[in-house]
Amino acid sequence: MLPVVVVHGGAGFVPRQRSELSVSGVCSAAGSAYGILKGGGSSMDAVVNAVTLLENNPAFNAGIGSVLNVRGDIEMDALVMDGKTLASGAVSAVRNIANPTQLARLVMEKTSHACLTAEGASQFARAMGIPEVPVESLITDYSRMRWQKNLAADANPVECQMGKMG
Amino acid sequence: TVGAVAVDTEGNIACATSTGGMLNKMVGRVGDTPCIGSGGYADNNIGAVSTTGHGETIMKVTLARLILFNMEKGQSVEAASDSGLALMKSRVDGLGGVITVDPQGHWAARFSSLQMAWAAAQSDTLHYGLYTGE
């Protein structure tokens, strides 16, 4: 079997001045994950590695650089699924975690549930020994600029999300 | 949103998707990403998909599972991905993108939005793109 990994960095608008960062980011993540596959690693190890790298790259709007909600706060979601067993794990509305995908994998591996959300997910992360990080460390100048710009254009939280892609 | 799909040397398939959500979303809004069948799906017998785009419309058509259903009916990874995105556009006016693999290692990166950064590695070759046709 020829191993393969494919990654994406989102379908939202990428300004031209950030396009090189986006392309180099997905190439780097794909290259790293492919190295795991070539070394005999599992597809689950590969996808979690790739997405973790993308979460840690502020060029993308997951993990560090996440888009902000209407309050200027962070709420992140993640999902993993293993095609061999159909096992899956997810988290939603997590705030103080650097890598939600790794937490989603723990939900899959350590619980009988499919998804943990908000404070429950945070409690689970603490129980698993996942270090909490300040929300501020996940917020970039770019995400704050976009949030403020959008607030100014649309004060209505329903209207301002129309047409926006996550 | 970011995501990955992979097939390893034993033929096992997996997917992962992660997101900060939607710009200036309402507090408590949860999109497609953590929803199995919408933000992603993986089945060794069919393939794997990770999605990105307008989460509410992705959920309405359960885009990841829809694409795998198309593959179950015999469509290629590329055709199944395009069919899923086309249905999402026609039925719920949704835009987005997907990455798809099948158990044989065929892959696709397709999108109906203006752009989607993607990269694929196979046979020691790296493919990548940002705009349609790349």
Q: Is the pLDDT of residue A154 over 80?
A: no
For chain A, give the percent of residues with pLDDT over 90. 83
Q: Is A117 exposed, middle or buried (0-12, 13-18, 19+ CB in 10 A)?
A: middle
Tell me the pLDDT tens digit for each residue of A86-117: 999 999 999 999 999 999 999 999 999 999 99
Alpha-carbon separation of residue B97 from A91, A160, A166, B57, B102 (angstroms): 22, 22, 11, 12, 17
Residue B51: active-site member: no
- List the structure tokens of A25: 């980011």
Q: Are B122 and A4 in contact (CB under 8 A)?
A: yes
Residues facing residue B18 across a β-bridge: A78, B2
Rounded to whole angstroms, how far apart are CA atoms B30 and A55?
18
Q: Kindly state the greatest CA–CA separation across chain B.
A: 44
What is the ipTM score, two decimals? 0.98
Contact list in B for residue A60 (CB cut-off 8 A) is: 2
Contact list in B for residue A86 (CB cut-off 8 A) is: 42-43
Tell me the pLDDT tens digit for each residue of A121-130: 999 999 999 9
Alpha-carbon separation of residue A104 from A88, A101, A114, A121, B9 (angstroms): 8, 5, 9, 9, 24
- List the structure tokens of A126: 């603490």
Contact A83/B42, CB-based, under 8 Å? yes
For chain A, give the percent of residues with pLDDT over 70. 92
The pLDDT value recorded for residue A14 is 87
Contact list in B for residue A61 (CB cut-off 8 A) is: 1, 19-20
| Closest CA relative to residue B47, chosen from B87, B11, B10 | B11
More confident residue, B120 or B132: B120
Tell me the pLDDT tens digit for each residue of B44-55: 999 999 999 999
Among the partner-chain residues B2, B26, B128, the one whose CB lies closest to the CB of A69 is B26
Q: Is the pLDDT of residue A165 over 90?
A: no
Mean pLDDT of chain B: 97
Contact A78/B18, CB-based, under 8 Å? yes
Mean pLDDT of chain A: 93
Contact B26/A158, CB-based, under 8 Å? yes
Rounded to whole angstroms, how far apart are CA atoms A120 and A102?
16
Mean pLDDT in residue range B100-129? 97
Q: Is the pLDDT of residue A162 over 50?
A: no
Contact list in A for residue B34 (CB cut-off 8 A) is: 77-79, 90-92, 104, 115
The pLDDT value recorded for residue B53 is 97
Distance of CA B7 to the CA centre of its chain: 15
Rounded to whole angstroms, how far apart are CA atoms B57 and B54?
6
Nearest chain A residue (CA) to B64: A81
- List the structure tokens of A93: 């509305």
Q: For chains A and B, what is the number of CB pairs under 8 angstroms?
A: 339
Mean pLDDT in residue range B27-39? 97
Among the partner-chain residues B15, B25, B116, the one whose CB lies closest to the CB of A70 is B25
Alpha-carbon separation of residue A150 from A10, A47, A69, A75, B121 (angstroms): 19, 32, 10, 17, 36
Contact list in A for residue B24 (CB cut-off 8 A) is: 67-70, 147, 150-151, 154, 157, 160-161, 164
- List the structure tokens of A71: 């309050």
- DSSP class of residue A63? S
Q: What DSSP string runs through B58-100?
A: HHHTTHHHHHHHHHHTT--HHHHHHHHHHHHHHHH---EEEEE
| Closest CA relative to residue A64, chosen from A121, A130, A122, A139 | A139
CA distance B83 to chain A (A): 17
Mean pLDDT in residue range A53-82? 97
Q: Is the pLDDT of residue A163 over 60?
A: no
Q: Is the pLDDT of residue A156 over 90?
A: no
Asked if the C-beta of A102 comes within 8 angstroms of chain B's C-beta atoms, the answer is no
